[in-house]
Copies of this chain bind each other. A is one copy, B any other.
Amino acid sequence: MSEIKRVEPRTLSGFMELLPQEQIKFNEMKRIIEETYELYGFLPQETPIIEASEVLLAKAGGETEKQIYSFTKGDTDLSLRFDLTVPLAKYVAKNYGQLTFPYRRYQIGKVFRGERPQKGRYRELYQCDIDIIGNGKLSIANDAQMPSIIYSIFKKFGFGKFIIRMNNRKILNGLFEEIGLKDQAKEALVIIDKLDKIGMDNVKEELREIGVTQENVTKLEEFFNINKFGNNDEILSALKGLGFKSETFAQGLEEIEELITYVRLFGVEEEYFRIDLTIARGLDYYTGTVYETNIIGYENIGSICSGGRYDNLAEYYTKQNLPGVGISIGLTRLFYVLNELDLIKIEKTSISKAVIVTMGVDFGEGVKVSNALRDNGIKNEIYAEDAKTKNKFSYVDSLNIPYCIVIGQDEVDKGQYTLKNMATGEQELLSIDEIVAKLK
């Protein structure tokens, strides 16, 4: 075997691969997301990573298509999924007759994007999505669940203050109707979406460039100044006070008012959400409520959870009318960013609660204790190697495992075991039942 030609064991750039301590924290964050989605009664969904290119690219175009991993196997064109929304649309269209509506599902899985590698950008990344799909119609009460879910998850993450910013595309479209800018609405929206990044002066400049009159630019500025008002109720009053006649505007206003009412009912604290009239979400398909979420003090990293309402999810696959609302958390990037900022406040650092170490007695004595702990649901392991005492303890230490249970001849004779707290060094002689009670 000495003639083996060895290959450098590398991982591709743009692909996350963590050491155990970090992986434990990553998984804990994933677990919190999944648990919260299920607390709200969402059903699990899992679609393949590989799909027929024709199916996956039914709608795609432009940037997305360029980033897709595509290849041929046999005579089939295959692609790796680049988001979880297209597979959802396919799934709902395909299984329409067998699903119960509203169909409420979550999917947590990897998606693939051949982006240019750069710090904090991943080519293989986790998305954690929930969507509620209605059959023909879907009440606005569903939109109010999203901020409640975002709030629950990020409170559990414990990274500090954040703000869920909400708007309604109908308010913006209504505004454009009102001031006779309907035909330029799409272009104008894309510009306004950048307000956060480039500031009002540049937005005005860009609006003028696409031919918006000075009068309308002024009207738009006045409208977006409402955004600076102190609280949600003040913003709602000001919007009502505008006296716009646009039907679309009125509908958007009614929806966002209902949304705010329900978000409060769902128990989201007032300081964690606000109407933000500048949120447009560049993507075409949103038609009503839109969401973005920022960490206070770290707005520069962008939105950490976004989404919105769309009128018709699966129009490229079926003639059924399927409106929906959903959000997505990009966990891989979020983990990277929080880790860089030292904002990961997950306490969990080990899997095992205790390592059992036998000293000069039969290994079987350790197995008995291990079995008893496991029967009580306590995660543990036995150190099974022949090693110096020092090395056994350093194993426990380096894995950040909180307790060590030492079993020597003394312990076997007494039927009691030494429980060592690795952080304090404190030792106690306890029965198995006492150890179980303590570690549970």
Residues of A within 8 A of B (CB): 1, 4, 6-12, 15-20, 23-24, 26-27, 38-52, 54-55, 58, 69-71, 73-74, 76, 78, 89-91, 93-95, 98-100, 102, 104-105, 110, 112, 114, 123-124, 134, 137-139, 141-142, 261-262, 265-267, 312, 314-319, 351-352, 355, 363-364, 367-368, 371, 374, 377-382, 384-386, 395, 398-399
Contact = CB atoms under 8 A, between A and B. Distances in A.
13 contacts: A4-B315, A9-B55, A9-B317, A11-B47, A16-B48, A23-B46, A38-B379, A39-B378, A41-B352, A43-B399, A71-B71, A266-B371, A267-B371
B9 A24 contact: no
A59 to B, nearest CB: 9
Contacts of A386: 139
Given A43-B399, A265-B364, 18 more contacts: A4-B315, A6-B316, A6-B318, A6-B319, A9-B93, A11-B47, A11-B51, A11-B90, A17-B46, A39-B378, A39-B379, A40-B374, A41-B351, A41-B355, A44-B351, A50-B112, A102-B385, A139-B385
A19 B318 CA distance: 18
Nearest to A355: B41
A9 B313 CA distance: 13
B10 A94 contact: yes
Contact of A374 (B39, B110, B384): B39
A9 B314 contact: yes
A91 B15 CA distance: 13
Q: Assembly of this chain: how many copies?
A: 2
Contacts of A102: 384-385
A284 to B, nearest CB: 12
A111 to B, nearest CB: 11
A311 to B, nearest CB: 9
Contacts of A138: 385
Contacts of A11: 47-48, 51, 90, 94
Contacts of A315: 1, 4, 6
B114 A317 contact: no
A399 B262 contact: no
Contacts of A40: 374, 379-381
Contacts of A90: 9-11
A153 to B, nearest CB: 13
B7 A58 contact: yes
A54 B7 contact: yes
